[in-house]
Amino acid sequence: MMTINPQFQKLQASYLFANIGKKVRAYQEEHPQADIIRLGIGDVTRPLPAVSIAAMQKAVAEMGAAETFRGYPTDYGQIFLEEAIQADYALRGVNVSVDEIFLSDGAKSDTGNFGDVFGAGNVIAVCDPIYPVYVDTNVMAGRAGYLLEDGHWSDLLYLDCGESAGFLPRLPSRHADIVYLCSPNNPTGTAMNKSQLQAWVDWANENGAILLFDGAYEAFITEDLPRSIYEIEGAKTCAVEFRSFSKTAGFTGVRCAYTVVPKELVRGGVSVNAVWNRRQATKFNGVSYITQRGAEATFTQEGRAQVRETITYYLRNANVIKTGLQSIGLSVWGGVNSPYIWVKVPDGADSWGFFDMLLNQAQVVGTPGCGFGPAGEGYFRLTGFGTAERTQTAVERMQTLDL
Ligand SMILES: *Cc1c(COP(=O)(O)O)cnc(C)c1O
Protein backbone atom coordinates (compact mmCIF):
# COMPACT_ATOMS: atom_id res chain seq x y z
CA MET A 1 0.00 0.00 0.00
CA MET A 2 1.26 3.45 -0.74
CA THR A 3 1.93 5.58 2.30
CA ILE A 4 2.42 9.30 2.94
CA ASN A 5 5.51 10.49 4.81
CA PRO A 6 4.16 10.09 8.36
CA GLN A 7 6.34 12.96 9.60
CA PHE A 8 3.87 15.46 8.14
CA GLN A 9 1.14 14.14 10.42
CA LYS A 10 3.34 14.93 13.40
CA LEU A 11 3.72 18.53 12.27
CA GLN A 12 0.10 19.43 12.37
CA ALA A 13 0.43 20.87 15.85
CA SER A 14 1.61 24.14 14.33
CA TYR A 15 -1.37 26.49 14.24
CA LEU A 16 0.31 29.82 14.91
CA PHE A 17 -0.60 31.93 11.89
CA ALA A 18 -3.88 30.07 11.28
CA ASN A 19 -4.91 30.80 14.86
CA ILE A 20 -3.93 34.46 14.55
CA GLY A 21 -6.03 34.72 11.37
CA LYS A 22 -8.99 33.07 13.05
CA LYS A 23 -8.88 35.40 16.04
CA VAL A 24 -8.57 38.50 13.85
CA ARG A 25 -11.49 37.43 11.63
CA ALA A 26 -13.67 36.75 14.65
CA TYR A 27 -12.86 40.19 16.03
CA GLN A 28 -13.63 41.84 12.69
CA GLU A 29 -16.98 40.10 12.48
CA GLU A 30 -17.93 41.43 15.88
CA HIS A 31 -16.45 44.90 15.22
CA PRO A 32 -16.87 45.60 11.49
CA GLN A 33 -15.71 49.21 11.93
CA ALA A 34 -12.48 48.29 13.70
CA ASP A 35 -9.30 49.66 12.15
CA ILE A 36 -6.86 46.83 12.77
CA ILE A 37 -3.10 47.47 12.51
CA ARG A 38 -0.93 44.47 11.74
CA LEU A 39 2.51 44.56 13.31
CA GLY A 40 2.88 40.81 13.37
CA ILE A 41 3.89 39.43 10.03
CA GLY A 42 7.55 39.31 9.09
CA ASP A 43 7.11 40.76 5.64
CA VAL A 44 8.42 44.02 4.24
CA THR A 45 6.13 46.73 2.89
CA ARG A 46 8.36 49.32 1.17
CA PRO A 47 8.74 49.03 -2.63
CA LEU A 48 11.85 47.64 -4.30
CA PRO A 49 14.84 49.94 -4.78
CA ALA A 50 14.43 52.04 -7.94
CA VAL A 51 17.76 50.69 -9.25
CA SER A 52 16.39 47.16 -9.10
CA ILE A 53 13.24 48.09 -10.97
CA ALA A 54 15.28 49.76 -13.73
CA ALA A 55 17.65 46.78 -13.94
CA MET A 56 14.81 44.30 -14.13
CA GLN A 57 13.01 46.31 -16.82
CA LYS A 58 16.18 46.29 -18.87
CA ALA A 59 16.55 42.54 -18.32
CA VAL A 60 12.98 41.95 -19.47
CA ALA A 61 13.77 43.77 -22.71
CA GLU A 62 16.89 41.62 -23.15
CA MET A 63 14.78 38.48 -22.82
CA GLY A 64 12.64 39.77 -25.70
CA ALA A 65 15.48 39.84 -28.25
CA ALA A 66 17.12 36.71 -29.66
CA GLU A 67 20.67 38.16 -29.30
CA THR A 68 20.29 38.84 -25.57
CA PHE A 69 17.85 36.10 -24.57
CA ARG A 70 18.95 33.83 -21.71
CA GLY A 71 17.78 30.34 -20.86
CA TYR A 72 18.92 28.09 -18.04
CA PRO A 73 21.30 30.21 -15.98
CA THR A 74 23.91 27.46 -15.70
CA ASP A 75 24.09 26.99 -19.47
CA TYR A 76 25.09 30.60 -19.98
CA GLY A 77 27.85 30.66 -17.41
CA GLN A 78 26.56 33.93 -16.05
CA ILE A 79 28.17 34.76 -12.73
CA PHE A 80 27.63 38.53 -12.54
CA LEU A 81 25.56 38.27 -9.36
CA GLU A 82 28.01 35.91 -7.67
CA GLU A 83 30.78 38.37 -8.53
CA ALA A 84 28.81 41.26 -7.05
CA ILE A 85 28.23 39.22 -3.87
CA GLN A 86 31.92 38.33 -3.76
CA ALA A 87 32.84 42.01 -4.00
CA ASP A 88 30.38 42.83 -1.24
CA TYR A 89 32.01 40.27 1.06
CA ALA A 90 35.41 41.70 0.18
CA LEU A 91 34.28 45.07 1.55
CA ARG A 92 34.03 43.37 4.97
CA GLY A 93 37.45 41.74 4.51
CA VAL A 94 35.96 38.34 3.68
CA ASN A 95 37.30 36.32 0.76
CA VAL A 96 34.87 33.93 -0.88
CA SER A 97 35.21 32.49 -4.37
CA VAL A 98 32.29 32.51 -6.79
CA ASP A 99 31.97 28.74 -6.67
CA GLU A 100 31.39 28.96 -2.94
CA ILE A 101 28.32 31.15 -3.55
CA PHE A 102 25.07 29.36 -4.45
CA LEU A 103 22.17 31.52 -5.62
CA SER A 104 18.64 30.49 -4.75
CA ASP A 105 15.05 31.59 -4.52
CA GLY A 106 15.16 32.12 -0.78
CA ALA A 107 16.91 31.58 2.51
CA LYS A 108 13.82 29.71 3.67
CA SER A 109 14.34 27.14 0.91
CA ASP A 110 18.07 26.96 1.56
CA THR A 111 17.90 26.57 5.34
CA GLY A 112 15.15 24.01 4.80
CA ASN A 113 16.86 22.14 1.98
CA PHE A 114 20.32 22.09 3.47
CA GLY A 115 19.33 19.12 5.64
CA ASP A 116 19.62 16.99 2.47
CA VAL A 117 23.38 17.19 2.92
CA PHE A 118 23.39 15.48 6.30
CA GLY A 119 23.13 11.84 7.29
CA ALA A 120 20.30 10.45 9.38
CA GLY A 121 22.00 10.10 12.74
CA ASN A 122 23.19 13.65 13.28
CA VAL A 123 22.26 15.46 16.46
CA ILE A 124 20.62 18.76 15.55
CA ALA A 125 20.75 21.69 17.94
CA VAL A 126 18.37 24.60 17.65
CA CYS A 127 17.72 27.70 19.68
CA ASP A 128 14.52 28.17 21.63
CA PRO A 129 12.79 30.43 20.62
CA ILE A 130 13.57 29.97 16.94
CA TYR A 131 12.52 30.58 13.31
CA PRO A 132 10.21 27.53 12.92
CA VAL A 133 11.63 26.42 9.54
CA TYR A 134 14.73 24.85 11.12
CA VAL A 135 12.67 22.59 13.36
CA ASP A 136 9.89 21.73 10.94
CA THR A 137 12.22 20.72 8.11
CA ASN A 138 14.11 18.40 10.45
CA VAL A 139 10.79 16.88 11.50
CA MET A 140 9.95 16.29 7.83
CA ALA A 141 13.33 14.63 7.36
CA GLY A 142 12.70 12.29 10.28
CA ARG A 143 15.45 13.73 12.48
CA ALA A 144 13.27 15.09 15.23
CA GLY A 145 11.53 12.11 16.88
CA TYR A 146 8.20 13.08 18.38
CA LEU A 147 6.67 16.12 20.04
CA LEU A 148 7.13 16.08 23.81
CA GLU A 149 4.65 17.50 26.27
CA ASP A 150 6.88 20.50 26.91
CA GLY A 151 6.63 21.49 23.23
CA HIS A 152 10.13 20.29 22.30
CA TRP A 153 10.88 17.48 19.83
CA SER A 154 12.42 14.40 21.40
CA ASP A 155 15.58 14.06 19.31
CA LEU A 156 16.50 17.72 18.93
CA LEU A 157 18.87 19.46 21.30
CA TYR A 158 17.42 22.79 22.42
CA LEU A 159 19.62 25.71 23.39
CA ASP A 160 17.82 27.98 25.81
CA CYS A 161 17.74 31.51 24.41
CA GLY A 162 15.35 32.91 26.94
CA GLU A 163 15.71 36.07 28.98
CA SER A 164 18.02 34.55 31.60
CA ALA A 165 20.39 33.53 28.78
CA GLY A 166 20.30 37.08 27.39
CA PHE A 167 18.45 35.65 24.37
CA LEU A 168 21.75 34.17 23.19
CA PRO A 169 22.60 30.50 22.77
CA ARG A 170 25.20 29.06 25.13
CA LEU A 171 27.48 26.30 23.89
CA PRO A 172 25.78 22.90 24.13
CA SER A 173 26.37 20.89 27.26
CA ARG A 174 26.24 17.66 25.28
CA HIS A 175 27.24 16.44 21.84
CA ALA A 176 25.73 18.12 18.77
CA ASP A 177 26.65 17.78 15.10
CA ILE A 178 24.72 20.60 13.46
CA VAL A 179 23.72 23.90 15.04
CA TYR A 180 21.38 26.48 13.56
CA LEU A 181 22.26 30.03 14.53
CA CYS A 182 20.36 33.14 13.47
CA SER A 183 21.85 36.56 14.12
CA PRO A 184 20.35 39.16 14.21
CA ASN A 185 17.72 36.84 15.54
CA ASN A 186 14.18 36.26 14.47
CA PRO A 187 12.16 36.48 16.74
CA THR A 188 14.12 38.11 19.60
CA GLY A 189 15.99 40.76 17.61
CA THR A 190 19.25 39.96 19.42
CA ALA A 191 22.55 40.09 17.50
CA MET A 192 25.67 38.17 18.49
CA ASN A 193 28.98 39.96 18.93
CA LYS A 194 32.40 38.89 17.76
CA SER A 195 33.50 37.03 20.86
CA GLN A 196 30.18 35.18 21.11
CA LEU A 197 30.48 34.06 17.50
CA GLN A 198 34.14 33.19 17.99
CA ALA A 199 33.20 30.86 20.84
CA TRP A 200 30.76 29.04 18.55
CA VAL A 201 33.27 28.76 15.72
CA ASP A 202 35.95 27.43 18.06
CA TRP A 203 33.52 24.94 19.56
CA ALA A 204 32.40 23.73 16.11
CA ASN A 205 35.97 23.29 14.89
CA GLU A 206 36.99 21.43 18.04
CA ASN A 207 33.96 19.13 17.85
CA GLY A 208 33.72 18.56 14.12
CA ALA A 209 30.27 20.16 14.12
CA ILE A 210 28.77 22.39 11.44
CA LEU A 211 27.17 25.79 12.07
CA LEU A 212 24.27 26.77 9.82
CA PHE A 213 24.37 30.54 10.14
CA ASP A 214 21.26 32.43 9.05
CA GLY A 215 22.20 36.01 8.28
CA ALA A 216 18.88 37.07 6.71
CA TYR A 217 18.92 40.27 8.81
CA GLU A 218 22.59 41.23 8.50
CA ALA A 219 21.66 44.46 6.69
CA PHE A 220 19.89 45.67 9.84
CA ILE A 221 23.10 45.69 11.86
CA THR A 222 23.97 49.27 12.71
CA GLU A 223 26.32 48.71 15.64
CA ASP A 224 29.89 47.49 15.36
CA LEU A 225 29.08 43.78 15.11
CA PRO A 226 30.07 41.11 12.60
CA ARG A 227 27.76 40.96 9.58
CA SER A 228 29.05 37.65 8.36
CA ILE A 229 30.17 34.52 10.22
CA TYR A 230 33.26 34.59 7.98
CA GLU A 231 34.49 37.70 9.76
CA ILE A 232 35.25 35.21 12.54
CA GLU A 233 38.57 33.39 12.38
CA GLY A 234 38.17 29.71 11.61
CA ALA A 235 34.59 29.96 10.31
CA LYS A 236 35.48 28.67 6.85
CA THR A 237 36.14 25.20 8.21
CA CYS A 238 32.87 24.92 10.13
CA ALA A 239 30.15 27.29 8.90
CA VAL A 240 27.61 27.64 6.11
CA GLU A 241 26.06 31.10 5.72
CA PHE A 242 22.57 31.89 4.43
CA ARG A 243 21.69 35.35 3.19
CA SER A 244 18.73 36.81 1.36
CA PHE A 245 17.66 39.88 -0.56
CA SER A 246 14.20 39.53 1.04
CA LYS A 247 14.55 41.65 4.15
CA THR A 248 17.61 43.51 2.85
CA ALA A 249 16.13 44.88 -0.36
CA GLY A 250 12.43 44.06 -0.34
CA PHE A 251 12.71 40.89 -2.45
CA THR A 252 10.19 38.84 -0.44
CA GLY A 253 7.93 38.70 -3.50
CA VAL A 254 10.70 38.64 -6.13
CA ARG A 255 12.69 35.82 -4.47
CA CYS A 256 16.48 35.83 -4.42
CA ALA A 257 18.97 34.61 -1.85
CA TYR A 258 22.36 32.92 -1.60
CA THR A 259 24.21 30.42 0.50
CA VAL A 260 27.94 30.33 1.02
CA VAL A 261 29.54 26.91 1.44
CA PRO A 262 33.32 27.22 1.83
CA LYS A 263 35.52 24.68 0.10
CA GLU A 264 37.48 24.26 3.33
CA LEU A 265 34.36 22.80 4.93
CA VAL A 266 35.05 19.07 4.84
CA ARG A 267 33.59 16.34 7.08
CA GLY A 268 34.58 12.69 6.95
CA GLY A 269 36.73 13.46 3.93
CA VAL A 270 33.70 14.78 2.02
CA SER A 271 33.44 18.33 0.71
CA VAL A 272 30.17 19.89 1.86
CA ASN A 273 30.48 22.34 -1.05
CA ALA A 274 30.56 19.45 -3.53
CA VAL A 275 27.55 17.74 -1.95
CA TRP A 276 25.50 20.94 -1.89
CA ASN A 277 26.52 21.63 -5.48
CA ARG A 278 25.33 18.17 -6.46
CA ARG A 279 22.08 18.62 -4.58
CA GLN A 280 21.33 22.01 -6.14
CA ALA A 281 22.30 20.87 -9.63
CA THR A 282 19.79 18.04 -9.29
CA LYS A 283 16.86 19.81 -7.66
CA PHE A 284 17.22 23.48 -8.65
CA ASN A 285 17.62 25.23 -11.97
CA GLY A 286 18.78 28.61 -10.85
CA VAL A 287 17.43 32.08 -10.23
CA SER A 288 15.66 33.94 -13.03
CA TYR A 289 17.92 36.24 -15.04
CA ILE A 290 15.59 39.19 -14.47
CA THR A 291 15.67 38.68 -10.71
CA GLN A 292 19.46 38.35 -10.70
CA ARG A 293 19.81 41.71 -12.46
CA GLY A 294 17.50 43.28 -9.90
CA ALA A 295 19.58 41.84 -7.06
CA GLU A 296 22.88 42.86 -8.69
CA ALA A 297 21.70 46.48 -8.83
CA THR A 298 21.43 46.62 -5.03
CA PHE A 299 25.24 46.44 -4.85
CA THR A 300 25.81 49.60 -6.89
CA GLN A 301 26.52 52.79 -5.00
CA GLU A 302 23.02 54.07 -5.75
CA GLY A 303 21.53 50.71 -4.86
CA ARG A 304 23.29 50.63 -1.51
CA ALA A 305 21.96 54.10 -0.68
CA GLN A 306 18.41 53.08 -1.58
CA VAL A 307 18.64 49.89 0.46
CA ARG A 308 20.04 51.83 3.40
CA GLU A 309 17.17 54.30 3.24
CA THR A 310 14.55 51.56 3.48
CA ILE A 311 16.35 49.74 6.28
CA THR A 312 16.64 53.00 8.18
CA TYR A 313 12.90 53.50 7.75
CA TYR A 314 12.13 50.09 9.29
CA LEU A 315 14.65 50.59 12.08
CA ARG A 316 13.05 53.94 12.90
CA ASN A 317 9.66 52.21 13.18
CA ALA A 318 11.20 49.56 15.39
CA ASN A 319 12.65 52.28 17.60
CA VAL A 320 9.27 54.04 17.82
CA ILE A 321 7.70 50.78 19.03
CA LYS A 322 10.53 50.04 21.41
CA THR A 323 10.65 53.43 23.11
CA GLY A 324 6.84 53.69 23.08
CA LEU A 325 6.44 50.41 24.94
CA GLN A 326 9.30 51.15 27.31
CA SER A 327 7.54 54.41 28.24
CA ILE A 328 4.61 52.39 29.64
CA GLY A 329 6.93 50.19 31.66
CA LEU A 330 7.22 47.15 29.42
CA SER A 331 10.51 45.28 29.02
CA VAL A 332 11.53 45.27 25.39
CA TRP A 333 14.48 43.83 23.43
CA GLY A 334 15.64 44.01 19.83
CA GLY A 335 14.70 46.85 17.53
CA VAL A 336 18.29 48.10 17.24
CA ASN A 337 20.08 45.77 14.86
CA SER A 338 16.83 44.17 13.85
CA PRO A 339 13.32 44.98 12.64
CA TYR A 340 11.96 42.82 15.47
CA ILE A 341 10.86 43.96 18.89
CA TRP A 342 10.58 41.28 21.55
CA VAL A 343 8.25 42.28 24.36
CA LYS A 344 7.85 40.65 27.76
CA VAL A 345 4.14 40.36 28.36
CA PRO A 346 2.89 42.02 31.56
CA ASP A 347 2.62 39.94 34.73
CA GLY A 348 -0.21 37.50 34.82
CA ALA A 349 -0.66 37.14 31.07
CA ASP A 350 0.73 34.59 28.64
CA SER A 351 1.58 35.16 24.96
CA TRP A 352 -1.96 34.50 23.72
CA GLY A 353 -3.47 36.49 26.57
CA PHE A 354 -1.40 39.49 25.51
CA PHE A 355 -2.38 38.88 21.89
CA ASP A 356 -6.06 39.09 22.88
CA MET A 357 -5.42 42.16 25.01
CA LEU A 358 -3.68 44.02 22.15
CA LEU A 359 -6.37 43.04 19.67
CA ASN A 360 -9.26 43.97 21.97
CA GLN A 361 -7.87 47.11 23.56
CA ALA A 362 -5.71 48.54 20.77
CA GLN A 363 -6.76 46.70 17.59
CA VAL A 364 -3.10 45.84 17.07
CA VAL A 365 -2.04 42.41 15.85
CA GLY A 366 1.32 40.93 16.80
CA THR A 367 2.77 37.44 17.06
CA PRO A 368 2.65 35.41 20.28
CA GLY A 369 6.17 34.43 21.30
CA CYS A 370 5.10 30.87 22.13
CA GLY A 371 4.76 30.29 18.38
CA PHE A 372 8.56 30.29 18.16
CA GLY A 373 9.07 27.61 20.79
CA PRO A 374 8.35 26.98 24.45
CA ALA A 375 10.91 29.54 25.65
CA GLY A 376 8.94 32.20 23.73
CA GLU A 377 5.97 31.77 26.08
CA GLY A 378 5.41 34.97 28.02
CA TYR A 379 6.83 37.09 25.19
CA PHE A 380 5.46 38.76 22.10
CA ARG A 381 6.94 39.81 18.75
CA LEU A 382 6.21 43.09 16.97
CA THR A 383 7.89 44.29 13.79
CA GLY A 384 9.03 47.58 12.30
CA PHE A 385 7.86 46.51 8.84
CA GLY A 386 4.70 48.64 8.89
CA THR A 387 4.35 52.17 7.59
CA ALA A 388 5.64 54.98 9.80
CA GLU A 389 2.14 56.45 10.18
CA ARG A 390 0.45 53.19 11.14
CA THR A 391 3.29 52.25 13.46
CA GLN A 392 2.95 55.59 15.26
CA THR A 393 -0.83 55.09 15.57
CA ALA A 394 -0.34 51.56 16.86
CA VAL A 395 2.10 52.77 19.52
CA GLU A 396 -0.24 55.55 20.64
CA ARG A 397 -3.02 53.00 21.04
CA MET A 398 -0.79 50.57 22.91
CA GLN A 399 0.20 53.35 25.29
CA THR A 400 -3.41 53.45 26.48
CA LEU A 401 -3.39 49.72 27.36
CA ASP A 402 -4.78 48.87 30.73
CA LEU A 403 -1.81 46.78 31.88
C1 LIG B 1 12.59 36.08 6.44
C2 LIG B 1 13.62 35.12 6.88
C3 LIG B 1 14.41 34.46 5.95
C4 LIG B 1 14.36 34.81 4.49
O5 LIG B 1 13.56 34.00 3.78
P6 LIG B 1 13.49 34.13 2.19
O7 LIG B 1 13.06 32.78 1.82
O8 LIG B 1 14.83 34.49 1.66
O9 LIG B 1 12.46 35.18 1.89
C10 LIG B 1 15.37 33.57 6.40
N11 LIG B 1 15.56 33.36 7.71
C12 LIG B 1 14.84 34.01 8.63
C13 LIG B 1 15.14 33.79 10.06
C14 LIG B 1 13.84 34.89 8.25
O15 LIG B 1 13.11 35.52 9.18
Residue 377 within any structural domain of the chain: yes
**pLDDT, mean over the chain:** 96
pTM for the structure as a whole: 0.97
Whether residue 257 has its Cβ less than 6 Å from ligand 1 = yes
> Can you give the pLDDT at residue 348?
81
> Can you give the pLDDT at residue 88?
98
Instruction: Calculate how far, in angstroms, residue 110's C-alpha sits from the geometric centre of ligand 1.
Output: 9
Whether residue 216 has its Cβ less than 6 Å from ligand 1 = yes
Q: Are residues 284 and 363 in the same domain?
A: no
Q: Are residues 127 and 77 in the same domain?
A: yes
Q: Which of 284, 301, 318 is the last residue of a domain?
A: 301
Give the gyration radius of the chain's Cα atoms.
Answer: 22
Residue 1 within any structural domain of the chain: no
Instruction: Calculate how far, in angstroms, residue 334's C-alpha sits from the geometric centre of ligand 1.
Output: 17
Instruction: Calculate how far, in angstroms, residue 24's C-alpha sits from the geometric centre of ligand 1.
Output: 24
Whether residue 383 has its Cβ less than 6 Å from ligand 1 = no
Which CATH number goes with the domain that contains 154? 3.40.640.10
Residue 104 within any structural domain of the chain: yes
Which residue, by CA, sits nearest to atom 12 of ligand 1? Answer: 216
- Domain holding 267, by residue range, is 51-301
> In a mutational test of the pocket of ligand 1, which residue from 114, 244, 340 has the highest number of ligand atoms less than 8 Å from its CB?
244
Q: Which of 280, 301, 322 is the last residue of a domain?
A: 301
Q: Are residues 34 and 154 in the same domain?
A: no
pLDDT tens digits along 24-45: 999 999 999 999 999 987 899 9
Q: Are residues 31 and 57 in the same domain?
A: no
Q: Which of 272, 301, 330 is the last residue of a domain?
A: 301
> Taking 90 as the threshold, does the pLDDT of residue 207 lie above it?
yes
Which CATH number goes with the domain that contains 314? 3.90.1150.10
Instruction: Calculate how far, in angstroms, residue 134's C-alpha sits from the geometric centre of ligand 1.
Output: 11
Percent of the chain with pLDDT over 90: 93
Average pLDDT, integer, range 118-122: 93
pLDDT tens digits along 302-326: 999 999 999 999 999 999 999 999 9
Residue 191 within any structural domain of the chain: yes
> Can you give the pLDDT at residue 12?
67
> Taking 90 as the threshold, does the pLDDT of residue 333 lie above it?
yes
> Taking 70 as the threshold, does the pLDDT of residue 345 lie above it?
yes
Q: Are residues 200 and 90 in the same domain?
A: yes
Q: Are residues 283 and 352 in the same domain?
A: no
Q: How many domains does the chain have?
A: 2
Q: Are residues 347 and 369 in the same domain?
A: yes
Instruction: Calculate how far, in angstroms, residue 2's C-alpha sits from the geometric centre of ligand 1.
Output: 34
Q: Are residues 200 and 327 in the same domain?
A: no
pLDDT tens digits along 230-282: 999 999 999 999 999 999 999 999 999 999 999 999 999 999 999 999 999 99
> Can you give the pLDDT at residue 78?
87
Residue 403 within any structural domain of the chain: no
Q: Are residues 162 and 228 in the same domain?
A: yes
Whether residue 139 has its Cβ less than 6 Å from ligand 1 = no
Q: Are residues 105 and 200 in the same domain?
A: yes
Q: Are residues 341 and 387 in the same domain?
A: yes
Q: Are residues 55 and 43 in the same domain?
A: no
Residue 3 within any structural domain of the chain: no
Residue 2 within any structural domain of the chain: no
> Taking 70 as the threshold, does the pLDDT of residue 53 lie above it?
yes
